[in-house]
Structure formats: C-alpha cells, structure tokens
Amino acid sequence: MGQPAHSNSMGLDRHPFIARLSRVMKLSAAELEHLAKIVDSEREIKKRKDLVVDGYEFRNLCFVKDGYAMRYKLLRSGKRQILNVILPGDVVGFPASFFDRSIYSVIALTDLKITVCSIELYTQLCLQHPQFGLALGWLAMQEAATYAEHIVDIGRRTPVERVAHFLLEIHSRLAAVGRADKDGFLLPVSQEVMADVLGLSVPHLNRVMQQLRSEKLIKSRERYLEILEAPALQTLAQFQPVALEPIPLEAKRTKFKAAPDDPASVGKIKV
C-alpha cells in the first residue's frame, strides 16, 4: 500500500477527516490526542494504484488527506460499476474492514495521501471513548444517504439531472471539509469515470456537460468546475442540501412521569 511517509501525530487537527468529524461532534484537545495516538502513519499512494482489492482481507481505516479515489465492483464479464468517488475527508476501509474480506475494490484516481490506523486500534479507542464509535456510525449514515441518492440517479433521474446532481454532491462534500470554493471546485476525475458513476456513455456525458454550459449553469476550465447558477442547478437536479445533525452527546435525560393507574389494570401483576 505504499511506504510510510511520516508520523501524523502533529497537524492532525488540520486533516479533512477531522474537519468532517468536527461537524458532528466537538473534539477536545485530549480527544484529538487519543485519535492521533492510534494513527500508524501517513502514506502516499500513486495514481491508478489499488488500495483495496475485492475478495481480500483489509483491516485498516484510511482517512484521505489529499487526492481522489473510487470504490468499485468488477464483474466476471469485465463490466465495472463505480459505487462512489472518494474525496478528502472520506474513509477507505469503510465498509471493507467490517467483513472477513472486502466486497469492493478501491483504486486511486489521483496521487493520494492517507493516514492509517488498524480497525483493531480504532475499536479499542471506541471501547474507551464511545463517542468515536458514535461518530463513525453517524458518518456511515451519511454514506448510506449518498448511496441511496446514487440509486435514484441510475433508476429515475434523467441524464442531465444525474450530472447536475453529481456535480452538486461533489461540491457539497468538498465544501464540508474546506476543499471547495463558494461556487467552484477542482474535479480531477476523467469523463470515463464520471460516465461510469452515472451510468452514461462518454459521448452522452459530453453532450450533457455541453448542455449545462450552454444554459450558463456551469463553466469549466481544465480541471476546475464553476457553478454559475446554483439555485437553478439545484432545481434541475432536485438536489436538497442536507447536513448531519450533531451527535447529542450532552443531551439531558428526559424525566418521564408515571401515567395514572389504568382501572383495567387493577389486580394485574406488574412486572
């Protein structure tokens, strides 16, 4: 998986995964230190290098610091289905590390920088500090919602709606970890990958992108994509921006008053 670059104990607070985590729970300096202690290393993965291989054991959680990857399934026929694009702040090994072997593959779309910890160490951290387990569960719910939208994309959205929704989703996810401008973002993803994600042919994707440009909804130059009319693009895609609610770690327990005795229950044994 590449060679360790250096310890990541210093500067973990600037990691996009921490930015993502901080949106659902407040991290104290002590909690950040607990997490830093289980990080094994920072590693660099070259473009087109597999991180996870379908059918093989994978027992790490890798937090993406820089770069893009994709999670995909390769069928016996040679056909490939891309499940999602992995961005800075995302977790590689999610869900691979929770099964006896991976059921998907992950490949780097660009050069990657990741910080790594074993699933065993993260589990020990969760046993000692349960809020980290809650946080991972919260992020899993976010990923589940993203996958659900991808199912709607393929099953019900028109090609232009799919492309618009994909661009807005990527912008939203990057903005959440401070990796996007207000109206634009870097998209170093090939048209072949985008087409596979959206279930389109490359020529069809090209036509749709040209349509969005001609309608003055987006503008692109090299790998940078600018959203010119966000409200109109959101209406077209039926895109509804949603944010995870923070984990209610400090919620007060609600005191319930006992209900009055039900006459019908008189004489019955209470258990």
CA 34 to chain centre: 23
pLDDT score recorded for residue 243: 84
Residue 118 β-bridge partners:
60
Contact 153, 195 (CB under 8 A): no
**Tokens 């310890």 sit on residue:** 7
Averaged over successive runs of 10 residues, the pLDDT of the chain (271 residues) comes to 43 88 91 90 93 96 96 93 95 92 96 95 95 93 93 94 97 96 95 94 97 97 95 95 85 49 48 38
Identity of residue 50: D
pLDDT score recorded for residue 270: 43
Enter the pTM of the model.
Answer: 0.86
| Separation of alpha carbons 132 and 51, rounded Å | 24
* Residues 161/165/166/168 CA torsion (nearest 10 deg): 140
| Separation of alpha carbons 113 and 44, rounded Å | 5
